[in-house]
């Protein structure tokens, strides 16, 4: 099921423009919405999840008008918000059973079947009677996915799902999302580039309420491949290089700054060509250095 967003806008009462005529076509599978904090990602997620009104624009999920047919949307939607709270003194099985009742699964036998299956799918079955207040951050996020999957939704929205997870839990969470995204439309909102690189066949970059770039990650990387240059510099030299070149990222390697610059011709000064990554695409786009449209937004 394709999600079609056209000219979606939202301005808050304090004058902040969260979304400015956002247009996106989101095909089935995993779609990554990548942007820094404050880019408008969570506002867009809440509007799509029918939790917030927009000022103008249209959104269709297949033939369903998301802005006007909210009850229909909620029947086909699974949502894991950025801040997902749980009742700490309730067990995972009890709360998931409660959510299943709220989703309209009246039969106790059917609920048990659904709840047990989701806890197995999210690798939480062995701790199903454990209180949620004792869960680690990764376990809580996997529980959040379990509740989002109740009712077999065709559209799933996950907002900043791996923020704060340790590397091992992030891998577990990636594997879970990859399995889910095989036959559903999954919209993954994040500021972590590796989440999109690892999971998503299509993506968009958003900043300050504007969609800056969209397409397949591999094609976006190809579009910047010959424009990324790298070299080590001394810390004292860094301000000079930032002044003279379009430095898009700086990181330490063995205590020395390694800088990447964006340039369509060799920048001289000892730079060497570097293999581009999705991180380079992201930083160059956010910095306003690169805006090649590699897909249909």
For the stretch 6-34, pLDDT in tens is: 999 999 999 999 999 999 999 999 999 99
Q: Give the model's pLDDT for residue 294.
A: 45
d(CA 162, CA 74): 24
Q: Is the model's pLDDT at 291 over the cut of 70?
A: no
Q: Is the model's pLDDT at 203 over the cut of 50?
A: yes
The torsion angles phi and psi of 11, rounded to 5 degrees, stand at: -120, 130
Maximum CA extent, the chain? 71
Between helices 137-148 and 108-121, what is the axis angle to 10°? 130
pLDDT band at 4 (very low <50, low <70, confident <90, very high): very high
Q: Is the dihedral of CA 72, 77, 83, 87 positive or negative?
A: positive
Listed range (172-176, 203-207, 238-242) with the worst mean pLDDT: 172-176
Q: Where are the alpha helices (DSSP H) in 4-91?
A: 41-48, 70-75
Mean pLDDT to the nearest integer, 196-201: 94
d(CA 276, CA 221): 6
- Give the whole-number percent of the chain exceeding pLDDT 90: 78
How far CA 93 is from CA of 37, 102, 133, 156, 169, in Å, comes to: 33, 14, 13, 21, 21
Number of continuous H segments (helices) and E segments (strands) in the chain:
10, 14
pLDDT digits (tens, 9 = 90+) for 79-105: 998 877 889 999 999 999 999 999 889
Report the CATH fold assignment for 3-215. Answer: Rossmann fold (3.40.50)
């Amino acid at each position: 099921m394709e999600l079609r967003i056209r000219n979606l806008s939202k301005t808050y009462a304090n004058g902040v423009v969260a979304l400015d005529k956002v247009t996106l076509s989101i095909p089935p599978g995993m779609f990554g919405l990548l942007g820094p904090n404050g880019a408008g990602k969570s506002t867009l997620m809440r509007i799509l999840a029918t939790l917030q009104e927009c000022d103008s624009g249209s959104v269709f999920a297949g033939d369903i008008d998301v802005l006007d047919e909210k009850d229909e949307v909620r029947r086909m939607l699974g949502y894991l918000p950025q801040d997902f709270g749980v009742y700490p003194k309730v067990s995972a099985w009890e709360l998931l059973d409660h959510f299943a009742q709220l989703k309209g699964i009246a039969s106790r036998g059917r609920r048990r079947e659904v709840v047990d299956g989701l806890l197995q799918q999210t690798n939480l079955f062995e701790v199903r009677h454990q209180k949620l207040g004792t869960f680690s951050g990764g376990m809580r996020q996997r529980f959040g996915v379990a509740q989002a999957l109740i009712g077999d939704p065709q559209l799933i929205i996950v907002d900043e799902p791996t923020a704060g997870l340790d590397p091992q839990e992030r891998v577990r969470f990636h594997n879970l999302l990859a399995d889910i995204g095989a036959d559903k439309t999954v919209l993954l909102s994040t500021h972590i580039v590796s989440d999109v690189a690892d999971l998503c066949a299509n993506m968009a970059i958003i900043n300050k309420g504007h969609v800056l770039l969209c397409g397949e990650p591999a094609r976006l990387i190809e579009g910047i491949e010959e424009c990324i240059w790298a070299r080590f510099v001394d810390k004292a030299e860094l301000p000079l290089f930032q002044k003279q070149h379009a430095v898009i990222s700086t990181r330490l390697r063995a205590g020395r700054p390694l800088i990447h610059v964006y340039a369509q011709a060799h920048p001289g000064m000892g730079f060497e060509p570097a293999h581009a990554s999705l991180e380079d695409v992201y930083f160059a786009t956010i910095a306003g250095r690169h805006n090649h449209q590699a897909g249909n937004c």
